[in-house]
Amino acid sequence: MARKAVRGKAYTAAGGDERLVALFLDMLAAERGAERNTLSAYRRDLADVAAFLADAGRSITTAATEDLRAYLRTLARRGLRPATVARRLSALRQLYRFLYAEEERKDDPAAVLEGPKRVRPLPKTLTISEVDRLLRAAAACNPAAALPVRLRAARLACLVELLYATGLRVSELIALPASAARRDARIIIVRGKGNKERLVPLNDAARRAMAEYNALLALCRGDKVAGAESKWLFPSTGGSGHLTRQHFARELKALAAAAGLRAAQVSPHVLRHAFASHLLHNGADLRVVQTLLGHADISTTQIYTHVLEERLKSLVRDLHPLGEE
């Protein structure tokens, strides 16, 4: 009989936890513009917390700081990476901060929790000469090839030029609207994380690549090639209507091999890192790079400070009167 009572209490607690997590996720979606993938990640992390607490006869509503510490210890015993543990801790802190603000709890048991120390790895990037090799390989196309072949080559060249010129996230790049290829466009409007818009300038090389690709796309529309008519700049016959990130990543790795680079060292995100690193190396302000990348927090952009440190050292070495001594 006692066992049934405990089980019934656990079910009630689980239902209460689901309600609180749902309130929290609604807030993230409504107030912070969190996307579906972000909400799914939070939901999975908090479901894991709730399951652990339920096994211990506790709930999100009744958990104390020590209960949450016990949960974090179990994550370490499971062999989860420090980055994963830190993400779970972040979810806990945000949840309890929200519950405290909404008066669902009278305290915040997660406020004093400490996470694992994380050594943030330096971003993988490419040198300027490696990017040049990649761009040259992308621009190489047989003008006598069939129209669909030339269109695919022009699309890849456009994607690579745009990515290196703007530092867009791959999800932002593949979902660019067809209107981004206007002839007079020197700036494009990008819709990024949290549905936030930002302005990103285009250089001449990117504009030329877009114009060449758009001209071939127009020819394909005239020839009624499947998938040519679309509201997207990079149309596809898939469910999304535009090129997928996986397809672009595969083409980029094949291009890297053609350029004499290791396929493993090249990805859309590596080109985004190259954009930021090369800007900073050539004197761009960190805040400007933050804006161009669409980072909400300057701390995210600070992974590139090693580039600034190297630049400062070279400036002192080259310009200070005692630099060579």
Q: How many CB atoms lie within 10 A of CB 49?
A: 22
User: Bridge-partner residues for 187, per DSSP?
Assistant: 201
DSSP structure string for 19-46: HHHHHHHHHHHHHS---HHHHHHHHHHH
Half-sphere exposure in the Cβ direction for 29 (13 Å, CA) = 14
Half-sphere exposure in the Cβ direction for 270 (13 Å, CA) = 19
H-type helices in the chain, by residue range? 2-31, 36-55, 65-77, 82-101, 128-139, 147-166, 170-174, 204-222, 245-258, 268-281, 286-293, 298-301, 305-319
CA 148, 179, 247, 156 dihedral sign is: positive
C-alpha 36: how far from its chain's center? Answer: 14
Asked if residues 236 and 217 have their Cβ atoms less than 8 Å apart, the reply is no
Query: Nearest 5°: CA angle at 135, between 201 and 157?
Result: 70
Q: How far apart are CA 258 and CA 45, in angstroms?
A: 41
Residues designated catalytic: 169, 193, 269, 272, 295, 304
Burial class (CB in 10 A: 0-12, 13-18, 19+), 243: buried
Structure-block tokens of residue 242: 């535009």
